[in-house]
Structure 1
Amino acid sequence: MKKVVAVLLVIFLIINFFSPTVFSTSKKTTYYDLWLSSKYEQTLYKTNSRVVYSRGKYKLTNYNHGYSFQFPKDFNFDIAKDKYYVRLFNKSCRIDLYHENLTNKNINTYIDDLTKSIRKNIIFSRYAKINNYNVRIIGYERKNKLFEGDLNYYHYYIINYKNKVLLIQLKTDLKNLSINKKTVDQIIKTINFNERKKVNNYNFDYRTVSGEINYLTNGYKLSIPKEKFVFGTFHEHSRDIDKLEKTLETRIGAQMFYKNINQPYDSYTEELVSKGKIPIVTFLMNTVPDSSESYVEKVIKGEFDNTLLTWVENVKKLNAPVLFRIGNEMNGEWTFWSLKYTYNDPDLYKLAFAHIVNLFKTNGCNNAYFVWNPNNKSIPNYIWNDAVLFYPGNKFVDIIGMTAYNFGNTKYSKFSYFDELYSDMYKTYLLNYPNKPMMIGEFASVSSGGDRPLFIKDMFEKIKTKYKNIKIVIWFNKNDGEYDFDLMNSDLSIKALKEGLKQDWIIKEPIQKN
């Protein structure tokens, strides 16, 4: 009997040794999950809207923008970020309301900017008289359903008054389109425009907010204490970091590199960990060599899961903290995961982000941490394209990223120092995403038109004294067209960086073995 048991045990061990690792598919996050999460996430932002229930209906008043309306009791509502939008939702639809001042623009320009990326999907465009408003209604369809129960029918309702616009976006499916259209019609019939009542949200000293990062695994720890931060770089050729370190005569604590969504695990990640550096992997949701097409929908459908699982498997084995920056600058139309390529529906970006995070977590890769990183400028510059619309939720985001470059004196910019680039964005993100550490996912300065050595010195001083919640900064050390960002081009810039890195609040080897 003992021999039989021994033989069976050997067979079992052989089968398990040679069997491939079985991975779980990504847990599915629904639209409703995203909307409900957004409603209840804690912020320091003071909502300036009120919802009152009376006679079987709700009345919502947005004092920030000066309007009110009624809506049915079977709808949930989100007024947490009413400066940007208010939202009604249930499992069959989402209704978002955006208010905008048409400063230096007319309504035709606004509509052109709104619809330029969805024109081929428009089913109809017409005017309707509702509640004495001449409402422009535009219906469009996303023809590819991504999953069972997808909501792929959209209507815009555009109300123009007193050089302002109230935009309503309905998102639903064909089955529920008719009933949800009637709901929007009823909402518009009850809209009243009132006086605005502003509320002051900046009632705290942002300079005192100082976060920390402590990520622990069985093998390694990543520690960035309060009032300290890590300086890192990006290089076109990754090992150019060695040349920069040799020139600086010191260590650099982090390195960012890009990977397209169809590129498998890169063992350079292990090399960075072995040197005590933080690996920061930026996933771009397009592919090589075809980098001009958006793959957000394919990510949601799991078509790149096999490639992503090579990262899951190897990062899990590495057992060290690794940061993943997913689809950065999604609020800029130059990225292939922006609204321009996702049917004016930020939910698609959020679902793709959540899908990638879920793939790691479902398969037990708990040493991967995720960065959400918009650009400082939303292009096109409208509320319906603001970065806040793309936030996947606290459940999926570990670090809030920021990006702002000093492009110098151009047609669209001037030489700017740290406060000018980051002050407003930093304060806004502290309000909207408290308890999250921050990083600058990429930034740099040109050398012409101002004093770049002073820019570098100012950056170190400002983060130390005013921007204490920034824990990692990444210098984009590569010339980009006419912009000379490469620090190796300037002895004075190298000298300024060398002096800054001498400070004792700069962490040189943030990843250590336990």
Structure 2
Amino acid sequence: MNFKKYLAISLIALAITSNLAYGDETYSDESTQITSYSTSYNKYTNNPFGYQIVLPKYLILNEDIVNVKSRFESKNLVVEVLYDDFNNTLDTKYSYNIYGNNGIKRNDEFEVTAEYEHPFGGVSSHITLYERRKLKGDEIDRNYYATIAIPRTSKEIVTVFIKSAAPIYIDYIMPSFKFIDKSGKMKEDKVFEPVKKQFDVLTQEFYEQYFEKNDKIDFGIFEPTFPTYQYRLVQLENLYNYNFPVTLTYNSFVLPFKSAYMEKAKELGKVVEYTLYTTDMIENKEKDITLEIIEGKYDDYLDSLAESFNEYDFPVLFRINNEMNGAWVLYSSYFVGKDTDLYIECWRYIYDKFKEKGVDNLIFVWNPNELSFPNFSYNNYLSYYPGNDYVDVVGLTAYNTGNYYKGETWRKFEEAYDAFYYDYESHFKHPMMITEFSCSTTGGNKSEWFVDMFNTITKYEKIKIAVLWNGQDYDMTKPTKTVSRNYRLDQDDNVINALIEGFKKFK
């Protein structure tokens, strides 16, 4: 098949209609440079990652997270260049190409139109072309995609990710690519910081008390029966002699705003960490509805939710689509075209809808998982950041899962949180919270783990709230109900005593 003929719907109009151009300007520092290549193209050199790529001059470069990717953009076209180093991991170029594309193929919203090998700079590269429907209401929707995985070795890959408003002709967009010797050290990523918001009075007071002026850590809790029933939470607070100011609940677009339940939380003075997943049950199957939300098909739901939050008139920690960089959630870019822009657009759509409706009691919490699965650059947590205007608090999540499952290991609190807290701290000036965490029973001494946690958590100065998870995970491979990870906080006297003593330090 002649793929060039299949793809050769001209993109020349994009260059003509766009006025976002570098022209003959050059840009250079020790790590990356832009130089003029011809009248229509620039050459971008990335020394630390060891490559050169030629791209149209009308594309604007963004290096906010240059350690993850270099992004070139116009109104109609996006080109991202990503580097993956799989040394000291089990991944290779083969697993990257096969597993990396499986998520796209499992989503009916996307269609792979071609997949083949083609040389770039003398290197045989894996090309995948795919597309989705154009979103209604979007005048310009970049719904045509290409990924070009160019291996330096079997363990090192540079990927060129393209999304366009018109079918893609790769040789026009990227007429040249080659590897060069690596040199120098990569510059630092941009540091993000929140924009000050106009919250209502109660929400502003909560934000100041618990995030801006808090010189200690306050603990919240997830109790599965709350707020449906109050007695279990009250029982736990009496048991530990500790008042939990924050409780956690989970919701999706299947569920309406449960006014009675939320009012119970409000009556007890509990600020709810309200988790909302962009999923719905369609034809008895759970489905991600990112595209439908952006199209406006769920505006009635969002309008109703906004009205409910306005009537609620009490602070809410609003967490949308947490752990988005994990392949266990349907809204991850692993399933949604490897396109983190869609996650961001959906987040902003919801945020703007609530702002339009005058909602001013939501504190927006952005919460990746501690590790990315798959651990590929296109799925890096930073690629999902919605922007400074849209995020008030950065959330962290890491559990000590124990060792029930193969590959899992018992981890001290510090071993879990050191690994990524300091990375987050270097990228964000936002206040932080642990949105959910706990310790399993299998693999070590649970009471000692909590003693150590209380002694260690204070070293993470930006963390102001930490929400304990009081529940259980189940092994769904067993014929009978079997607990795989027991995160319960109240089933062992030693654990209970460790919590009682620990909470005393934080009153």
TM-score (norm 2): 0.81
Aligned to 1:143: 133
Task: Note if contact 2:432-2:465 (Cα within 8 Å) is conserved in structure 1.
Answer: yes
Q: Which amino acid aligns with 2:221?
A: T
| Alignment size in residue pairs | 444
Aligned to 1:37: none
Alpha-carbon separation, structure 1, partners of 2:73 and 2:188? 26
Give a deviation string over 1:256-307, Cα, whole Å, max 9, x none: 1011123222223333233332211000121358462111112222222222
Deviates more, 1:82-91 or 1:64-73: 64-73
Alpha-carbon separation, structure 2, partners of 1:169 and 1:303? 28
Alpha-carbon separation, structure 2, partners of 1:128 and 1:114? 18
- 1:343 corresponds to which of 337, 345, 353: 337
Q: Which amino acid aligns with 2:427?
A: N
TM-superposed deviation, 1:201: 6.0
- Helix, strand or coil for the counterpart of 1:428? helix
Aligned to 1:184: 173
- Helix, strand or coil for the counterpart of 1:116? helix
Alignment of 1:299-314 (within 5 A): 299-314=293-308
Change (3 A) 1:314 1:340: same
Alpha-carbon separation, structure 2, partners of 1:346 and 1:48? 29
Aligned to 2:184: 197
1:417 counterpart = 2:403: no
- 2:116 corresponds to which of 91, 102, 126: 126
Aligned to 1:227: 215
- 1:109 corresponds to which of 81, 84, 95: 95
Alpha-carbon separation, structure 1, partners of 2:62 and 2:359? 32
TM-superposed deviation, 1:216: 5.5
Alignment of 1:312-461 (within 5 A): 312-409=306-403, 410-433=405-428, 435-461=429-455
- Helix, strand or coil for the counterpart of 2:248? strand
Aligned to 1:66: 50
- Helix, strand or coil for the counterpart of 2:119? strand
Alpha-carbon separation, structure 1, partners of 2:236 and 2:281? 28
- Helix, strand or coil for the counterpart of 2:103? coil
- 1:263 corresponds to which of 255, 272, 284: 255
Q: Which amino acid aligns with 1:429?
A: Y
TM-superposed deviation, 1:48: 7.2
Change (3 A) 1:215 1:73: closer
Aligned to 2:144: 153
Q: Which amino acid aligns with 1:80?
A: D
TM-score (norm 1): 0.80
Alpha-carbon separation, structure 1, partners of 2:268 and 2:238? 14
Aligned to 1:16: none
Change (3 A) 1:418 1:201: farther
Q: Taking every aligned residue pair, what percent have the same amino acid on both sides?
A: 27
Aligned to 2:79: 95
Alpha-carbon separation, structure 1, partners of 2:281 and 2:235? 28
Q: Identify the structure with bigger relative contact order (alpha carbons < 8 Å, sequence gap 6+).
A: 1
Q: Which amino acid aligns with 1:158?
A: A
Aligned to 2:8: none
Task: Note if contact 1:400-1:437 (Cα within 8 Å) is conserved in structure 2.
Answer: yes
Aligned to 1:170: 162
Alpha-carbon separation, structure 2, partners of 1:216 and 1:145? 32
Give a deviation string over 1:457-485, Cα, whole Å, max 9, x none: 22222221x20101111111111111110
- Helix, strand or coil for the counterpart of 2:351? helix
Change (3 A) 1:216 1:363: closer
Task: Note if contact 1:371-1:400 (Cα within 8 Å) is conserved in structure 2.
Answer: yes
- 1:282 corresponds to which of 275, 284, 287: 275
Structure 2, gaps ≥5 residues long? 1-28, 475-483
TM-superposed deviation, 1:200: 8.6
TM-superposed deviation, 1:327: 0.6
Alpha-carbon separation, structure 1, partners of 2:423 and 2:344? 20
Change (3 A) 1:269 1:49: farther
Alpha-carbon separation, structure 1, partners of 2:30 and 2:378? 19
Alpha-carbon separation, structure 2, partners of 1:201 and 1:185? 26
Task: Note if contact 1:135-1:159 (Cα within 8 Å) is conserved in structure 2.
Answer: yes
Task: Note if contact 2:334-2:379 (Cα within 8 Å) is conserved in structure 1.
Answer: no
TM-superposed deviation, 1:199: 5.2
Task: Note if contact 1:331-1:374 (Cα within 8 Å) is conserved in structure 2.
Answer: yes
Aligned to 1:217: 200
Task: Note if contact 1:442-1:476 (Cα within 8 Å) is conserved in structure 2.
Answer: yes
- Helix, strand or coil for the counterpart of 1:341? coil
Alpha-carbon separation, structure 1, partners of 2:464 and 2:324? 22
Task: Note if contact 1:296-1:349 (Cα within 8 Å) is conserved in structure 2.
Answer: yes
Alpha-carbon separation, structure 1, partners of 2:313 and 2:450? 34
Q: Which amino acid aligns with 1:217?
A: D
Task: Note if contact 2:366-2:391 (Cα within 8 Å) is conserved in structure 1.
Answer: yes
Aligned to 1:499: 501
Alpha-carbon separation, structure 2, partners of 1:455 and 1:248? 17
- Helix, strand or coil for the counterpart of 2:174? helix
- Helix, strand or coil for the counterpart of 2:279? coil
Deviates more, 1:132-141 or 1:284-293: 284-293
- 1:469 corresponds to which of 458, 462, 465: 462
Deviates more, 1:270-279 or 1:408-417: 270-279
Change (3 A) 1:457 1:227: farther
Q: Which amino acid aligns with 1:287?
A: D
- Helix, strand or coil for the counterpart of 1:489? coil
Give a deviation string over 1:92-149, Cα, whole Å, max 9, x none: 1111111112333332222101211223721112233333222332211113534332
Q: Which amino acid aligns with 1:318?
A: Y
Q: Which amino acid aligns with 2:146?
A: H
Give a deviation string over 1:392-443, Cα, whole Å, max 9, x none: 111111111111111112411211111111112111111222x211111111
Task: Note if contact 2:198-2:360 (Cα within 8 Å) is conserved in structure 1.
Answer: no
Alpha-carbon separation, structure 2, partners of 1:162 and 1:122? 26
Q: Which amino acid aligns with 2:503?
A: L
Alpha-carbon separation, structure 2, partners of 1:256 and 1:54? 53
Task: Note if contact 2:433-2:465 (Cα within 8 Å) is conserved in structure 1.
Answer: yes
Alpha-carbon separation, structure 1, partners of 2:468 and 2:248? 9
Alpha-carbon separation, structure 1, partners of 2:397 and 2:450? 16
Task: Note if contact 1:153-1:171 (Cα within 8 Å) is conserved in structure 2.
Answer: yes
Q: Which amino acid aligns with 1:247?
A: L
